[in-house]
């Protein structure tokens, strides 16, 4: 297909183009419908999908009906989970990979630059690529739906259960496709974009659910798992489903502070905010190619919202004990029913609070990389500002420094971390324990050295240099310290000092010294606080030096822009 035929209309007036809500008339969707739904290619995919779906449906249904002795209602229910897995592979994995890889290919072939000239709104272009690139995967998923509908109907599954399951299923698919679209827009290499998007979906269903067992419950709601778990009893034979439903009633619903929300409602809310954020990212890039993925105000608000949701999901689960990993492990292994004297270990509190701090720090790094200008963009912004007769950059503009916004994120991260830690340590599970008065100061120090130092280094030296520093300062000390610790127990103290260099370990060190473990060796009890405070003080000095260097660099750019204006 030639570039000239990608989008063609006789009327160049933007008002004559279809509005955003007319998805079926979107030129980009129609283009991909013509290219990806050709009979020759599509028929093979439909045939293979029908073969797999039909085999799963009939083999499981007939096997449980005639060999397993189940009634027809129960036999129909047993096919729902295998079909759901097949549909997830088609839409979640293949669809997301297709979106990321095809978007990168579009950029390589110059099609994206041509599409910028089309008089369509940026949002129409985003919607076109979002639903156009994976259109074949949507058709293949639709081919499997008659099997699921039949199983839901003949399995006597309540209509509301099926609706909420597949509503969240398609909401998750849109979220993952948006993630692939963002990856394809940012990552220039098609293979890396494909792998990054597929890897993210894999992590969402393997690693992220495990974070919920360590206090980070929010990440479960980025997947289908909470709603699938709520619908799970209705996807089993009725006897087994009744047992699962009784056990499910003992578990908490989706909690947001003191609100009890249905799993589907809170999942849709959580995913909806991120879907809106993804649309904003792509809208900004289509409106202006050199724009940052997020504006500074939106990014700061997003970070604050994530902190709020993390706390809102976690705090109500502390007193009943659902937040602690050992309780979930005991429930999973069936030991909880036999043990009435369960209580969490103090080490769980240390790990959970350290992980909360590390997650906040990493999220801050990701958002910082989205709003930090490079040297070229900063200079270009200053020149534009001078031409407009202004004396300073708008703090909301992309070329402006993100320092003050990062400072706000540091305060929010430290406050959220402190609230979470104080709630865990001050709960009835750990009588006699309380956070010391300087805990908030320690949390602020960790977030400031990690967050502001990362930002100052990124804005003054660029992304490649920051990547090298992250490897040398963040990864190498952990690896070296681990090797030293494995050589001999006598080297535990030097290993403790080595590992403490990494900013990734600072949250765990802070948690360990603020929540002292009674069984910790005496040498480590003395070494950990010394190593933590020494390297945090060193990090604070380095951060102050980096901030001073960044300030000089910003002044230099402003002066250079003024000189360029005078000579022009």
| Residue 99 CB contacts under 8 Å (≥ 6 apart), including other chains | 129, 130, 133, 134, 177, 180, 181, 184, 197
Specify the higher pLDDT residue, 297 or 100: 297
Q: What is the pLDDT of residue 564?
A: 66
Q: Nearest-CA neighbor of 175 among 255, 271, 68?
A: 271
Contacts 24+ apart (CB under 8 A), 322-328: 322/251, 322/252, 323/215, 323/217, 323/352, 323/424, 324/348, 324/352, 324/429, 325/213, 325/214, 325/351, 325/352, 328/213
Residue 14 has pLDDT above 60, yes or no: no
Specify the higher pLDDT residue, 85 or 189: 85
What is the pLDDT averaged over residues 497-507? 95
Distance separating alpha carbons of residues 98 and 246, to the nearest angstrom: 41
Label residue 513 by pLDDT band (50, 70, 90): very high
Q: What is the pLDDT of residue 1?
A: 41
Q: Where do the structural domains in the chain lie, given as residue ranges?
A: 3-290, 369-567
Distance separating alpha carbons of residues 375 and 383, to the nearest angstrom: 12
pLDDT tens string 124-151: 899 999 999 999 999 999 999 999 999 9
Label residue 291 by pLDDT band (50, 70, 90): confident
Lowest mean pLDDT among 334-348, 439-453, 491-505: 334-348
Residues across the chain = 568
pLDDT tens string 358-375: 999 999 999 999 999 888
What string of DSSP letters covers 204-261?
HHHTHHHHGGGT-GGGGGGSSHHHHHHHGGGGS-HHHHHHHHHHHTTS--EEETTEEE
Residue 53: CA count within 13 A, CB half-sphere: 26
Distance separating alpha carbons of residues 510 and 442, to the nearest angstrom: 7
Label residue 560 by pLDDT band (50, 70, 90): confident
| Residues of the chain above pLDDT 70, percent | 91
Q: What is the pLDDT of residue 566?
A: 62
pLDDT tens string 144-190: 999 999 999 999 999 999 999 999 999 999 999 998 888 888 877 66
Q: What is the pLDDT of residue 336?
A: 46
Q: What is the pLDDT of residue 290?
A: 83
Q: Nearest-CA neighbor of 405 among 374, 436, 361, 367?
A: 367
Residue 496 has pLDDT above 70, yes or no: yes
Lowest mean pLDDT among 6-15, 180-189, 490-499: 6-15
> Which of 111-115, 367-371, 410-414 tops mean pLDDT?
410-414
Q: What is the pLDDT of residue 24?
A: 84
Label residue 567 by pLDDT band (50, 70, 90): low
pLDDT tens string 18-52: 777 788 888 889 999 999 999 888 999 999 999 99
Q: What is the DSSP letter of 519?
A: T
Query: Phi and psi (nearest 5°) for 438?
Result: -90, 10
pTM listed for this prediction: 0.87
Angle at the Cα of 62 (from 59 to 63), degrees rounded to 5?
Answer: 75
Q: What is the pLDDT of residue 337?
A: 46
What string of DSSP letters covers 404-435?
HHHHHHHHHHHHHHHHHHHHHHTSTTSTT---
Bridge-partner residues for 260, per DSSP? 255
Q: What is the pLDDT of residue 40?
A: 86
What is the pLDDT averaged over residues 395-409? 90
For the chain, the average pLDDT equals 86
What is the pLDDT averaged over residues 418-422? 95
Label residue 404 by pLDDT band (50, 70, 90): very high
**The two three-digit tokens of residue 247, written as one number:** 């056990």
Counting beta carbons within 10 angstroms of the beta carbon of residue 16, is it exposed (0 to 12), middle (13 to 18) or buried (19 or more)? exposed
Q: What is the pLDDT of residue 254?
A: 64
The answer to whether 450 and 506 have CB atoms below 8 angstroms apart is yes
| Residues of the chain above pLDDT 90, percent | 49
Distance separating alpha carbons of residues 332 and 335, to the nearest angstrom: 8
- Could you tell me the CA-to-CA distances from 54 to 57, 83, 86, 90 in Å, in that order? 5, 10, 11, 15
Residue 284 has pLDDT above 50, yes or no: yes
Specify the higher pLDDT residue, 203 or 308: 308
């Amino acid at each position: 297909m030639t570039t000239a035929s990608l989008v063609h209309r006789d009327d160049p007036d933007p008002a004559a183009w279809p509005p955003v809500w007319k998805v079926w008339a979107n030129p980009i969707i129609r283009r991909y419908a013509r290219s990806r739904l050709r009979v020759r290619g599509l028929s093979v995919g439909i045939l293979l999908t029908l073969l797999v779906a039909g085999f799963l449906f009939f083999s499981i249904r007939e096997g449980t009906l005639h060999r397993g002795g189940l009634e027809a209602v129960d036999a129909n229910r047993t096919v729902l989970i295998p079909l759901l897995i097949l549909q997830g592979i088609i839409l979640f994995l293949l669809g997301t990979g297709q979106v990321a890889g095809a978007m990168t290919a579009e950029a390589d072939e110059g099609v994206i630059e041509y599409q910028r000239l089309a008089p369509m709104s940026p949002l129409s272009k985003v919607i076109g690529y979002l639903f156009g690139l994976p259109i074949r995967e949507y058709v293949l998923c639709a081919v499997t739906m008659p099997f699921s509908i039949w199983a839901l109907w003949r399995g006597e599954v309540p209509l509301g259960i099926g609706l909420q399951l597949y509503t969240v299923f398609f909401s998750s698919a849109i979220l993952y496709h948006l993630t692939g679209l963002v990856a394809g827009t940012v990552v220039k290499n098609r293979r890396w974009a494909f792998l990054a998007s597929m890897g993210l979906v894999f992590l969402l269903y393997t690693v992220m659910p495990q974070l919920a067992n360590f206090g980070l419950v929010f990440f479960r709601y980025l997947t289908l798992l909470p709603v699938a778990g709520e619908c799970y009893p209705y996807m089993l034979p009725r006897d087994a489903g009744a047992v699962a439903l009784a056990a499910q009633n003992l578990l908490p619903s989706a909690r947001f502070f003191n609100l009890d929300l249905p799993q589907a409602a809170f999942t849709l809310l959580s995913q909806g905010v991120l879907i809106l954020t993804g649309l904003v990212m792509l809208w900004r890039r289509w409106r202006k190619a050199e724009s940052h993925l997020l504006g500074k105000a939106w990014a700061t608000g997003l970070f604050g919202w994530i902190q709020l949701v993390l706390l809102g999901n976690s705090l109500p689960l502390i007193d009943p004990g659902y937040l602690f990993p050992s309780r979930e492990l005991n429930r999973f292994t069936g030991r909880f029913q036999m043990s009435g004297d369960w209580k969490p270990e103090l080490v769980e509190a240390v790990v959970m609070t350290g992980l909360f701090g590390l997650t906040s720090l990493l999220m801050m790094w990701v958002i910082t990389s989205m709003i930090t200008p490079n040297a070229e963009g900063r200079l270009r912004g200053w020149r534009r500002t001078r031409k407009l007769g202004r004396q300073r950059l708008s703090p909301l503009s992309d070329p402006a420094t993100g320092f003050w916004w990062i400072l706000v994120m540091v305060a929010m991260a430290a406050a959220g971390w402190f609230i979470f830690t104080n709630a865990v340590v001050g709960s009835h599970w750990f009588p006699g324990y309380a956070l010391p008065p300087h805990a908030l100061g320690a949390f602020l120090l960790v977030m400031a050295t990690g967050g502001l130092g990362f930002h100052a280094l990124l804005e003054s030296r660029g992304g490649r240099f920051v990547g090298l520093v992250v490897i040398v300062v963040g990864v190498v000390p952990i690896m070296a310290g681990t090797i030293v610790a494995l050589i001999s127990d006598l080297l535990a103290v030097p290993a403790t000092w080595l590992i403490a260099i990494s900013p990734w370990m600072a949250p765990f060190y802070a948690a360990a010294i603020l929540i002292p473990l009674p069984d910790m060796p005496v040498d480590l009890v003395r070494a950990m606080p010394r190593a933590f405070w020494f390297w945090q003080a060193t990090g604070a000095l380095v951060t102050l030096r980096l901030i001073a260097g960044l300030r000089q660099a910003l002044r230099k750019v402003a002066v250079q822009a003024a000189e360029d204006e005078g000579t022009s």
